[in-house]
Structure 1
Amino acid sequence: MNMPQDLLESPIRWSTLTSSEPETVTEKPTQGVRTEEGPWCNGVLTLTKQLGRLDVVYSVDMQESPFPDAGRFSDVLQFLEELYPKFNSLSAPRVGFGGVVFLPVADRGEGYERLKEFLPFLSIEDDMRDLYLQVNRQRDSDIDVKINNISKWSSVEIKVLEIRSDGASGEVGSANAVRLEFDINTADGMNIPDGVSNELVLRYLTSQSKALMMDGAI
């Protein structure tokens, strides 16, 4: 969230969101940055406040799977949506919701077939490799503000390497997936109308992210 400068000392803290204290707190007074972090759900919740901006990020470490796995998007979203009402105390001229999701596939070929479904306006030929597409569809919304719907699409293969004590390394696993990175936010210069709560905006942005995953960048 982008906030007016006088809201640097906002009432939103890690403990406000989780009803417990963070595991670590880091401050950089000369830069005006405060970061609070701790375990939450199946991963780590990080809250970073700086001049004019508040970021809340949920992340997970690499586990046995080649891909970082926070669980099904719909399951994680249920936990995130419980936090939305707590942001209503802020006056935020801009709000965004973003993330990175993976759709596991058997191999590169299946990955590109799925990309054809998500990107029907794009001609993807059989001999193509290393495809990466970023698209922003700016549209009107049901909350009377223009929305940037930014999505980045690719088919990826991630390999897991094991480094032994003698310095040698070897591949111990790999997996393929369609990767979607999205950032859905209220457009710059388009202030959120009076009477529209941050919770309502976040729920609308969330609904757009789900539509992106179901229908693609259409």
Structure 2
Amino acid sequence: MDPQDLETLNVLLDRDVELRENIKDQVNEFDKKTRTMVGLLNKIHSTPCFGEVPSLLDSVKPVLTSCQEITAAIASIVPPNQLWRWKELWSNSLRTAVFAAALIEYLSNRRLITLPKVAQTLGLKDEWQDRVALPAEDYLHGIISLVNELSRLAVNAVTLGNFDEPIRISIFVKNLFAGFSMLNLKNDTLRRRYDGLKYDIKKIEEVVYDVSLRRLASSQSVPSTTQ
């Protein structure tokens, strides 16, 4: 191999290494923010009065909004048309951010956050589509994580004396599952996680059955609808 060609290859390899490290630096910051959000949101399972949840969510929202700085930084680093080359570096962080945004939306408004709304919340711009974006797959992973968390909340809400919440969660999750069932899921990992939702629904149904049998829920408990 020609020495000049070798030198050119070495330069290209060094650039890739430098680019990867720069992206990883931003992803590490992204990870810190998502861990903070998950830690704060975890407190909903031990908040005795559900009326205290809004103040808890208010402490999480600024962290979620600050993720816009990270997505902007990544967009400024990744070269044009190289989204699919590097996206796996931040996919897990992005899915966790989707989960956090979805849980905040559910607890605030009892509805499902849309993909465009999540992208807007995270500051993802249309002109960045070839560098950093929110693929449908990552959005759906985040929504499945939401269902996992809500099945846990259904149990803990009863423990904390909130007997209406499992009923709201049950209707929301069943509507969501019906939507998932109409999707053509060909991704193996996503399909397996979708199949696992049946266990979450079963857990929620058991809680609702127990609450209903004991007549613990209020008669005025009004179900929410998804959007």
TM-score exceeds 0.5 = no
Normalised by the length of structure 1, the TM-score is: 0.29
Q: Which has the larger radius of gyration?
A: 2
More helix by share: 2
More strand by share: 1
